[in-house]
Structure 1
Amino acid sequence: MASEDVKRSESAVSTIVNLAEEAKLAREGVKAPSYAMLSIFKSLVAGGVAGGVSRTAVAPLERLKILLQVQNPHSIKYNGTIQGLKYIWRTEGFRGLFKGNGTNCARIVPNSAVKFFSYEQASRGILYAYREQTGNQDAQLTPLLRLGAGACAGIIAMSATYPMDMVRGRLTVQTDKSPYQYRGIFHALSTVLREEGPRALYKGWLPSVIGVIPYVGLNFAVYESLKDWLIKKRPFGLVEDSELSVTTRLACGAAAGTVGQTIAYPLDVIRRRMQMVGWNNAASVVTGDGRSKAALEYTGMIDAFRKTVRYEGFRALYKGLVPNSVKVVPSIAIAFVSYEMVKDVLGVEIRISD
């Protein structure tokens, strides 16, 4: 009898445990998908907000950079950061400083959202593969692996939003002498499609793909590696616990932006010039003679590099670097910190470095 009672008790306990597990799985089966979707949505929102805030903060410098990149070397209007900003203010007013920013934000918000989200997913996938390969389940991402994850994120985000970047560039340099007068983003997209074909929306895509690997890859790799090093080593008394201050995180973002943009900048110049092909009558790219006109007609990325260096010298590949440096340093820093702060506000536990 005692043996049968024990068996009955064990059976009852087993049944209760199984029912509890089934109930738990049922609850998770209902909640997990919705929770996952909510987490993804919050992550995308955080990335979008970070991109919009960071780009609006430096919009005047962004426009000046593009104007410096594509201006005709025989008709110089913009001679540097301060002079260029003053010239825009004097000739176009306050609104001129933010021309093209609406289009820029319309592009950068989804771009930033996709970029940060893609980086998190790529990081998880790469880390899982790395742990499986090494057999060390406690292994962490190395700077090189972070560079790879950042490169993947950059390529995905840039490819998804490239047409917006193309028309944003044209809207930014548009004047009353431009060959087309675009009324806005969608009008620009439809006009380019109608007049130049769908391939025109991806002019300069190849140098962008090549440039985004060191640029975005280094941004993420340097930012995370610096944070990781500061938390582990705690130099100069900057870190008292596992959390970095906003100022320290901004400094990490600034360093990341400086390294990434300096290495990738020549490709950004070439991309922008390829996007402006066909805009020889725009005020900022007016050609003074046949030679300068030929320099603006590129058959591809290599040809664009060759003609730029031949007609304007190697320094032309770094036109606009100073205002771009002034822009990128706070922009990248603000983007990283804004992203993490918005995720904190939205209650998303996992952040970049996690």
Structure 2
Amino acid sequence: MASDDGVKPPTHELLSICKSLVAGGVAGGVSRTAVAPLERLKILLQVQNRQDIKYNGTIQGLKYIWKTEGFRGMFKGNGTNCARIVPNSAVKFFSYEQASLGILWLYQRQPGNEEAQLTPILRLGAGACAGIIAMSATYPMDMVRGRLTVQTEASPRQYRGIFHALSTVFREEGPRALYKGWLPSVIGVIPYVGLNFSVYESLKDWLIRSKPFGMKAQDSELSVTTRLACGAAAGTVGQTVAYPLDVIRRRMQMVGWKDAASVVAGEGKSKLEYTGMVDAFRKTVQHEGFGALYKGLVPNSVKVSSIDPFA
């Protein structure tokens, strides 16, 4: 019930936030499940052993997963991906509000900006900060999702589920192992968010100004379908530029996993070892060529343009 002065009580605000998080979690879970086979294939392509190629492309890869692992194999790792949506959304929601306030406070400290409000660029910065904080808070779940996703029916069974994977990695490899690949993930946020924003705004302005595809002269706003198309194009561009960092992140997540050599890129049956992000880039290009940095790009592009550019 609202108070007499029209201000909503704290309980109402909390309930509204909870409803938003639940609705966002359900929507996110549905969208991620819809593209789960593409997401799994992308990760398998990113890390597969170059001396034992099983997945040669999108169609062949999906057929191979279905043939060797069946229906369940298409959705391996999706449970962990869905489980992190609500905590990720909650942290991102709170972080965005705090980052917006902090950035606005700093901006208003500049001479002449005392009464300024958040601009689109400042909101972009706040969104990037919130994305990095939320990603960092839920990164261990993403790390074990990568390993659960890579496990196949033929590979040694080391992880039985989310909590077993988290506890096993923590016990056998130490707490720092839960953040393997964190640095390229953080760096990747910068070009992705920046290009996503700039390409979307540029496309939108061009469409309104040029009026292509039968747009009427009086049209000053884009339709929902056109805006979604602009968002998909912007997301694809951003993801493509940042994609090598995603490949390196996935490969670094496999380091230290004693059964990784049987399923991921490496020298024969030797264990995959990188000393850091730069070393991972160097060894990947040295042993597999520059094209290895874009393994899995096709299913990832289909996924991005279809549902969720941030997945």
Into which bin does the TM-score normalised by the smaller protein fall?
0.7 to 0.9
Q: How do 1:188-227 residues align onto structure 2 when only pairs under 5 Å count?
A: 188-219=165-196, 222-223=199-200, 225=201
Residue 152 of structure 1 pairs with residue 123 of structure 2:
no
The residue that corresponds to 2:294 in the other structure is 318
Give the C-alpha shift of residue 315 in structure 1. Answer: 1.0
The residue that corresponds to 2:246 in the other structure is 268
2:12 and 2:170 map into 1 onto residues whose CA distance is 40
2:101 and 2:249 map into 1 onto residues whose CA distance is 31
Q: Which amino acid aligns with 2:273?
A: E
The residue that corresponds to 1:3 in the other structure is none
Give the C-alpha shift of residue 129 in structure 1. Answer: 5.0
Of 245, 259, 266, 2:237 maps to: 259
1:176 and 1:260 map into 2 onto residues whose CA distance is 34
Give the C-alpha shift of residue 40 in structure 1. Answer: 2.8
Give the C-alpha shift of residue 67 in structure 1. Answer: 0.2
Length, aligned pairs only: 305
Q: Which amino acid aligns with 1:89?
A: W
Deviates more, 1:146-155 or 1:259-268: 146-155
The residue that corresponds to 1:75 in the other structure is 52
Q: Residues 208 and 77 (structure 1 numbering): CA distance in 2 closer, same or farther, change over 3 Å? A: same
Q: Is the 8 A contact 2:191 2:241 kept in 1?
A: yes
Residue 332 of structure 1 pairs with residue 308 of structure 2:
yes
Give the C-alpha shift of residue 77 in structure 1. Answer: 0.7
2:174 and 2:129 map into 1 onto residues whose CA distance is 28
Q: Is the 8 A contact 1:150 1:217 kept in 2?
A: no
Q: Is the 8 A contact 1:149 1:217 kept in 2?
A: no
The residue that corresponds to 1:103 in the other structure is 80
Q: Which amino acid aligns with 1:72?
A: N
Q: Is the 8 A contact 2:195 2:237 kept in 1?
A: yes
Q: Residues 269 and 286 (structure 1 numbering): CA distance in 2 closer, same or farther, change over 3 Å? A: closer
Q: Is the 8 A contact 2:208 2:222 kept in 1?
A: no
Query: 1:285 is paired with a residue of what secondary structure?
Result: coil
The residue that corresponds to 2:64 in the other structure is 87
Q: Which amino acid aligns with 1:252?
A: C
Q: More helix by proportion, 1 or 2?
A: 1
Q: Residues 232 and 141 (structure 1 numbering): CA distance in 2 closer, same or farther, change over 3 Å? A: farther
Of 41, 44, 50, 2:18 maps to: 41
1:58 and 1:274 map into 2 onto residues whose CA distance is 24
Unaligned runs of at least 5 residues, structure 2: none
TM-score, normalised relative to structure 2: 0.83
Q: Is the 8 A contact 1:146 1:220 kept in 2?
A: no
Q: Residues 241 and 334 (structure 1 numbering): CA distance in 2 closer, same or farther, change over 3 Å? A: farther
**Residues 170-215 of structure 1, C-alpha deviations (whole Å, 9 max, x = no match):** 1111135545521111111111111111111111111111112222
The residue that corresponds to 1:17 in the other structure is none
Q: Residues 158 and 47 (structure 1 numbering): CA distance in 2 closer, same or farther, change over 3 Å? A: same
Q: Is the 8 A contact 1:211 1:268 kept in 2?
A: yes
Deviates more, 1:34-43 or 1:198-207: 34-43
The residue that corresponds to 1:14 in the other structure is none
Give the C-alpha shift of residue 153 in structure 1. Answer: 1.8
Query: 1:181 is paired with a residue of what secondary structure?
Result: coil
**Residues 232-264 of structure 1, C-alpha deviations (whole Å, 9 max, x = no match):** 759453898887543223213202311221111
Q: Which amino acid aligns with 1:61?
A: L
The residue that corresponds to 2:263 in the other structure is 284
Query: 2:274 is paired with a residue of what secondary structure?
Result: coil
Q: Residues 102 and 63 (structure 1 numbering): CA distance in 2 closer, same or farther, change over 3 Å? A: same
Q: Is the 8 A contact 1:150 1:220 kept in 2?
A: no
Q: How do 1:242-257 residues align onto structure 2 when only pairs under 5 Å count?
A: 245-257=223-235
The residue that corresponds to 1:306 in the other structure is 282
Question: Percent same amino acid among aligned pairs?
Answer: 76
The residue that corresponds to 1:297 in the other structure is 273
Query: 2:60 is paired with a residue of what secondary structure?
Result: helix
Give the C-alpha shift of residue 279 in structure 1. Answer: 3.4
2:221 and 2:4 map into 1 onto residues whose CA distance is 34
> Which of the two has higher C-alpha Rg?
1
Q: How do 1:13-24 residues align onto structure 2 when only pairs under 5 Å count?
A: none
Q: Which amino acid aligns with 2:44?
A: L
Deviates more, 1:134-143 or 1:198-207: 134-143
**Residues 134-172 of structure 1, C-alpha deviations (whole Å, 9 max, x = no match):** 5385766244x3432231121011001100001101111
